[in-house]
Amino acid sequence: MLNAPINSIATIALLLISSRAIAELILARLNHRHVVANANRIPDAFAGIIDEATYRRSVDYTLAKNKFGQIETIYDTIILLAALFSGILPWLSGQFQRHLGENAWAMAAFLFATGLLLSLPGLPFAWHAQFRLEERFGFNTTTQKLWWADRLKGLLLAALIGYPLLALVLKLVDWAGAYWWLWAWIVIIGFQLLMLVLAPVLIMPLFNKFTPLPEGSLRERLLALANRTGFRARSIQLMDGSKRSRHSNAFFTGLGNWRKIVLFDTLVQQLSEPELEAVLAHEIGHYKKKHIPKMLAFSALSLLVAFYLIALLARQPQFYAAFGFHNDGIAPALLLFGLLAGTVSFWFSPLLHLWSRRYEYQADRYSAETMGEVRSLAGALRKLNEKKLSNLTPHPTYSGFYYAHPTVLEREQALQRLNLPQQPALAK
């Protein structure tokens, strides 16, 4: 009688994984056709905004990433199915128990080793994306040595920080009993908050060089913006993002008195001073509108639900058996949940992106109102989308599943509805 629920669970998992893969391939095809349909001429909305050569390159870049993404989707799905249904995970768990025992450190080692093994098949794709795809379109600036060094540093940090944290979570099962999941959640949330303070000081400098923004008109302009918006930051720093890619970004890091404003050096090279001020005002808008604590709260709640579900699954022998495990404690439940969670959360991504887009519109509005005009932010958006060869004509359904930010056209149309000085309308 046990075989029926076991088979049902395995079937549900197979359907979830397959349906997500099929949906991703369908969305990719929809986006491909939509982009190709608009490839022969610059859409009217962008006439005079982008030249034909750049638009053609953005189309080629989008189609190349689309094709690569479809291959990667199929490959990742095969790897996931093989991991779940080949029996290798129960076998590996048995090996660790046999040689290291069943204590928290041994099971944490099993989880760490499994995560490492499952990441290996993706290395060729990550390498190809960096040194073939990004290189082809002029974005890659990293070297083979630096690329491999980044991965080695990441592995060492995972071993030094992630492995003990895994062992602590597993040990809480012995210490806290049935409510281990609540204490595990508290520990992980505390660790995340601690890392918000420590990572900018101890971890990020291992990968990038941070230098104070030099004295000059740009620094004075950005400091004046921070003062008039009541945004206190410890410093404004430049990050050498150009040693890896020509893509650009700006972000805040740290909490409270340790907060820093970080600008990619590529961003400073690509934008004018008013445009950089508008971009920083947009980021400050996220802070002033309390978007960051709201999203952190949602993330914390999601993590609490995840731990509770793991605790429920850990008490279901049929769940373990469906993937070849015996009831071997919390470790397999953590692993299986981690492998399967994405197949469910994928279907909620449009809702999360709607929420994220709403926040982007609010931050854009804050930036425009702070600047007293929309020209600077609109100019920055245009340049950034042009420099990174963004897809200017995504299929709406594809955009809903994958775009956390509105398109440049949608953002400019929203800016034009503000009663502020603005440049000629982007939309015809």
Contact 200, 260 (CB under 8 A): yes
Determine the Cα–Cα distance for residues 110 and 154; give it in Å rounded to an integer.
Answer: 18
Three-state DSSP class for 198? helix
Check if 44 is active-site: no
Determine the Cα–Cα distance for residues 179 and 175; give it in Å rounded to an integer: 9
Q: What does the alpha-carbon distance between residue 249 and residue 265 come to, in Å, rounded to a whole number? A: 9
**Phi/psi at 259 (nearest 5 deg)?**
-65, 135
Please name every residue paired with 253 in a beta bridge, in sequence order, or none if there are none.
260
Question: What are the CA-CA distances from residue 324 to residues 9, 239, 340, 360 (Å)?
Answer: 12, 47, 15, 45
Q: Which of 24, 134, 283, 386 is catalytic?
A: 283
Write the CA distances from 119 to 61, 113, 128, integer angstroms.
Answer: 26, 10, 15
The answer to whether 135 touches 88, Cβ cutoff 8 Å, is no
Exposure letters 100-119 (e unless 16+ CB within 10 A, then b): eeeebebbbbbbbebeeebe
For residue 356, give both structure tokens.
């994220």
The rounded distance, in Å, linking the Cα atoms of 119 and 126 is 10
The label of the residue with tokens 């979570």 reads: 169
CA 390/CA 62 separation, integer angstroms: 7
Q: Is 364 a catalytic residue?
A: yes
Between the alpha carbon of residue 110 and those of residues 321, 322, 324, the distances in Å are: 18, 19, 16
For residue 361, what is the enclosing H or E element? helix 349-371
Structure tokens at 179: 């409510």
Q: Amino acid identity of 373?
A: E
Number of other CB atoms surrounding residue 139 within 10 Å: 18
277, 360, 364, 386: which is the annotated catalytic residue?
364
Any idea what DSSP says for residue 262?
A: E
| Identity of the residue numbered 7 | N
User: What is the set of active-site residues?
Assistant: 283, 364
